[in-house]
Chains A and B, each alone.
Chain A
Amino acid sequence: MKNEEILEKLKQKHPQAVLGAADRFGYLEIQIAGASIAEVVKTLRDDPEFAFNMLIDLVSIDYSATQGWTGERFALAYLFKSLTLGHRLQLKVTVAEDEPVVPTISEFYANANWLEREAYDQMGVRFARHPNLKRLLNHHEFVGHPLRKDYPITKRQWLSANESLMDEMDVRLKAKGYQ
């Protein structure tokens, strides 16, 4: 499907959710209301005309150091690809600084679990109803979110204790029938 067709069709399906669109060097970006991201993503995956069967990446951005920036502080860019139809799409969601929470999409794509953990770890954006919202790249004792623009790059932290991982193991064992 062409970019304009994707935009039109998504507007028809979710008139309330679509806030705007932009062209990013030929790559369609559709701005979506944060609260409705999960239902939009479900449509994109399950509707055979979209068939976005892959979540390519999840990018978190902190715009607070941009000159003259008046919008919300954070944004998330969800990148999708359809292997069957060959088209690509990017969804953009703005996230407020005082309550940086977005619904999770981890139930729709298996890799969203880790990608959302990374966004939480690096940028401090939280994902409502995420099954295991822990840090991914940084140490579990780490304080703060390093990719925020107000986190100094030279800052050092003392991190010592290793992680037992037994909290995750407990969930996994229960799923396998070990009570």
Chain B
Amino acid sequence: MNGIDPKTLLPDTGGENSAAGLDSSRHKDRKDLVFVNLGPSHPATHGCLRALCALDGETIVAAVTEMGYLHRGFEKDCEVHTFQQVIPYTDRLNYVSAIMNNVGYCKAVERMLGITIPDRAMYLRVITCELNRIIDHLVCAGANLVDLGALTNFWYSFNAREKVYNILEKLCGARLTSSYTRLGGLSRDAHPSFADEVRAVLKEVKKSVGEVNNLISKNRIFLDRTQGVCVISKERALSYGWTGPTLRACGMDYDLRKAEPYYHYDDFKFEVPVGTQGDTYDRIFVRLYEIEESANIIEQALKKLPKGPVMTDDKRVALPPKQETYGNIEGLMNHFKIIMHGICPEPGEIYDFTEAANGELGFYIVADGSKNPYRVKCRPPCLMNYAAFHEMIEGGMVSDAVANLGSINIIAGELDR
């Protein structure tokens, strides 16, 4: 200040404008706070979420969250539909990676029925799930970076995503709501050029991830806005029941594909990226590295992809071939039974889980011997993430809250069900 002591310009009289008066740690008055709603309808909430924030200046001193804006009664709807009819509803849970929900639900019901699906179906489920994981992570990272003002990354990640969607569209006729699985297998086999097309797309995906990496990993603005921002401790994350990439970002090496493997995941060689700090930066980078690991898994699965049917021959769930249905009475009866009487697991209860893009996606299913599930409870992984959101953003700035919301990847369809 040009050698002038600021105190001579503004003497500290101990009044309202004194340094002590502006120190918020000593002076806590609710009249100083401004209450601002983040959401429910806001571009950065990517869905309908609401966080009411009490601001002191630009710092969030307290926050409370509200959810349920996209609640459609998924669980109640399941109770009045047959086991097979629930599959399209599961598409609408995490609509960014729909096939993972299809697989999670079908795997639970198949275990209940005691059905082992054919190897080719398992491998195709792994491949499509990992393609969905890539999409999910690309969307999460891309959208998160847009919220930070880094629009170019969005084009790189969404271009790659579009190419993966082209494959899925060719595979099952739909882009987002694919309903690719059926109880006992898959709705249809992969087309002959599937493997080559996937390999070509994986190259582009890896290139895009590399480009995103180049743009952000040494970018001062990105680093300042994500490193040490909205940190959550390992212990707190566990207490909140976090799973998946967000838990791994806190330094927990926990992945259901390794810890409790299913569908031959133990035969694939892949690494589980783990963070150290539990901040926004780690959550973004764990996802980016997971994309590369998913690509590795897909390449191995394509190499090993066995020939054979994609649907079990168990007559309780598999529709007979059309020539059987039209050609003989047993086939016709079998078709009629499955369509009209449905698939009826024995009475019982099961909890089964898969590693979805956001973490442990679980289905608790109660069957009473009829064609409809008696009760379906979905465990959405991002519910646990959102439960911790208010705690993470307190003490930070509003812009940190926006950066954090993208990094914990809340998908409202899954959160609110």
Chain A residues within CB distance 8 Å of chain B: 24-25, 27, 29, 53-57, 59-62, 65-67, 77, 79, 83, 86, 90, 109-111, 113-114, 122, 135-139, 146-147, 151, 153, 163, 165-166, 168-169, 172-173, 175-179
Within 8 Å of chain A (Cβ to Cβ): is B375? yes
Interface 0/1 of B61-88, CB less than 8 Å to A: 1111011100101011101100000000
Say whether B416 contacts A137, CB under 8 Å: yes
Chain B residues within CB distance 8 Å of chain A: 28-30, 33, 35, 50, 52, 54, 61-64, 66-68, 71, 73, 75-77, 79-80, 111-112, 236, 238-241, 252, 254, 259, 348-353, 360, 362, 364, 366, 368, 374-375, 377, 379, 383-384, 387-388, 390, 394, 416-417
B362: A residues at CB distance < 8 A: 56-57, 79
Say whether A25 contacts B111, CB under 8 Å: yes
Q: List 8 A-B contacts (CB under 8 A).
A: A57-B241, A67-B368, A137-B71, A165-B64, A166-B52, A169-B54, A172-B390, A178-B28
Q: Tell whether A24 pairs with B30 under 8 Å between CB atoms, given A59-B377, A67-B368.
A: no
Known: A57-B364, A77-B349. 13 other contacts (CB 8 A): A25-B348, A27-B351, A56-B360, A59-B364, A83-B238, A135-B68, A165-B66, A168-B64, A173-B54, A173-B62, A176-B28, A178-B28, A179-B30
B54: A residues at CB distance < 8 A: 169, 172-173, 178
Say whether B62 contacts A122, CB under 8 Å: no
B76: A residues at CB distance < 8 A: 146-147, 151, 153
A79: B residues at CB distance < 8 A: 351, 362, 364, 379
Residue of B nearest to A169 (CB): B64
Q: How far is the CA of A138 from the CA of B241 in the complex (A)?
A: 22
- Closest approach, in angstroms, between the C-beta of B305 and any C-beta of chain A? 28
Q: Tell whether A57 pairs with B377 under 8 Å between CB atoms, given A67-B368, A138-B71.
A: yes
Q: How far is the CA of A168 from the CA of B50 in the complex (A)?
A: 13
B236: A residues at CB distance < 8 A: 110
Say whether B63 contacts A172, CB under 8 Å: yes
A66: B residues at CB distance < 8 A: 368, 374
- Closest approach, in angstroms, between the C-beta of B381 and any C-beta of chain A? 10
- Closest approach, in angstroms, between the C-beta of A23 and any C-beta of chain B? 10
- Closest approach, in angstroms, between the C-beta of A155 and any C-beta of chain B? 10
Residue of B nearest to A173 (CB): B62
Say whether B67 contacts A137, CB under 8 Å: yes
Say whether B379 contacts A56, CB under 8 Å: yes
Say whether B35 contacts A111, CB under 8 Å: no
Q: Tell whether A122 pairs with B75 under 8 Å between CB atoms, given A137-B417, A176-B62.
A: yes
Q: How far is the CA of A153 from the CA of B30 in the complex (A)?
A: 44
Q: How far is the CA of A60 from the CA of B417 in the complex (A)?
A: 16
A137: B residues at CB distance < 8 A: 67-68, 71, 416-417
Say whether A56 contacts B62, CB under 8 Å: no
